[in-house]
């Protein structure tokens, strides 16, 4: 691999745009299927960070062939779009290119692994971002990145890359646990943020929402434990509260989707928790209620 790897990014949404900015000292190749987004970003991609706006000019195309020279490819796409995206790009990915997914939800890693043989590094991030327009994004709050994978060497390459971009990143011995814990955090924050149409910080200012979030987390932790993921509900409630505090002004991705009249990732977050719960005969009234409410909201928008 080159001393200075070429970075491919699939998806120029909020997180893809933000990471393109973080990694801008490298050659960035952005791929997005939306021609309006591509044309807008060709005029410059603006990032609002700590009340300052910076504009840069990444190479972007809606032709997947743009990814052909990428050494490391980040996937920043909605979980429900994973299969179509991999299907579209797989013929253009170099055999030794490292694929990195920091997507929300449960099930992406298994799906990607079933479709391509590339080295896969996967994990989570609590960094927040809000898309303001096709070529404008706002940094939503400091967070961390946890990664892992089958090969320590590939994880180490990605770790160095992200660390060089001044991002807080850790290699976890059990990234599957990190994925579940992120899904649990998302399960508590995203549906409520989307249903109530409030930024993350508002959710911890009201006893009613705090209680509902705790119920969602307690159910999800029982499901995770039944699935072999040892996670503690009190710790997860505390962690979720911290995430809300650290990203207090951020509109969660599900709220951004609802406001933009797009499909949400509810099926790979609360939906996945409910599906696993059914296998273990665990009741999930809190998760089921918010899941059904979001599905109703989706049906009214799309």
The domain that holds 210 is classified in CATH as 1.10.1040.10
Instruction: Please tell me the pTM assigned to this model.
Output: 0.90
3-class DSSP state of 228 = coil
Q: With 90 as the cut, is the pLDDT of residue 3 above it?
A: no
Q: What is the span of the domain harbouring residue 107? A: 7-173
CATH code of the domain containing 78:
3.40.50.720
Q: How far apart are CA 194 and CA 129, in angstroms?
A: 15
Last residue of a domain, one of 173, 189, 215: 173
Q: Quickly state the pLDDT bin for 249 (edges 50, 70, 90).
A: confident
CB 170 within 8 A of CB 276: no
Q: How far apart are CA 35 and CA 251, in angstroms?
A: 25
Last residue of a domain, one of 152, 173, 194: 173
Judged by average pLDDT, the poorest of 54-63, 143-152, 188-197 is 143-152
Q: How far is CA 277 from the centre of its chain?
A: 23
Quick one: average pLDDT of 81-87?
A: 97
pLDDT tens sequence across 178-209: 999 999 999 999 999 999 999 999 999 999 99
Last residue of a domain, one of 131, 151, 173: 173
Neighbours of 4 (CB within 10 A): 12
pLDDT of residue 210: 98
Quick one: average pLDDT of 135-146?
A: 88
Q: With 90 as the cut, is the pLDDT of residue 246 above it?
A: no
Closest CA to 42 of 52, 53, 27, 32: 32
DSSP 96-126: TPEEEE--SSSSHHHHHHHH--S-EEEEEE-
pLDDT of residue 50: 85
Quick one: average pLDDT of 71-89?
A: 97
Q: How far apart are CA 233 and CA 139, in angstroms?
A: 29
pLDDT of residue 1: 52
Count of domains for the chain: 2
């Amino acid at each position: 691999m080159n001393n200075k790897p070429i970075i491919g990014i699939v998806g120029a949404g909020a997180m893809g745009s933000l990471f393109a900015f973080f990694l801008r000292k490298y050659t960035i190749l952005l791929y997005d299927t939306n021609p309006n987004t591509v044309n807008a970003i060709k005029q410059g991609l603006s990032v609002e960070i700590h009340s300052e706006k910076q504009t840069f000019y990444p190479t972007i195309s809606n032709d997947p062939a743009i990814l052909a020279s990428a050494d490391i490819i980040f996937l920043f796409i909605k979980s429900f779009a994973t299969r179509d995206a991999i299907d579209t790009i797989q013929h253009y990915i170099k055999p030794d290119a490292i694929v990195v997914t920091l997507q929300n939800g449960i099930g992406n890693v298994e799906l990607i692994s079933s479709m391509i043989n590339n080295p896969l590094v996967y994990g989570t991030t609590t960094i927040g971002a809000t898309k303001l327009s096709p070529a404008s994004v706002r940094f939503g709050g400091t967070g961390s990145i946890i990664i892992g994978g089958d090969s320590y060497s590939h994880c180490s390459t990605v770790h160095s890359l992200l660390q060089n971009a001044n991002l807080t990143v850790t290699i976890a011995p059990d990234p599957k646990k990190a994925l579940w814990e992120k899904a649990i955090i998302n399960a508590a924050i995203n549906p409520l943020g989307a249903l109530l149409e409030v930024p993350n910080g508002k959710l911890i200012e009201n006893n009613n929402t705090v209680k509902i979030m705790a119920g969602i987390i307690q159910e999800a932790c029982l499901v995770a434990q039944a699935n072999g993921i040892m996670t503690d509900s009190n710790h997860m409630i505390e962690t979720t509260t911290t995430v809300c505090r650290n990203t207090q002004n951020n509109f969660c991705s599900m709220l951004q989707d609802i406001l933009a009249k797009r499909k949400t990732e509810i099926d790979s977050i609360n939906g996945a928790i409910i599906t696993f719960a059914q296998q273990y005969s665990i009741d999930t009234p809190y998760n089921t209620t918010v899941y059904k409410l979001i599905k109703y909201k989706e049906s009214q928008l799309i």
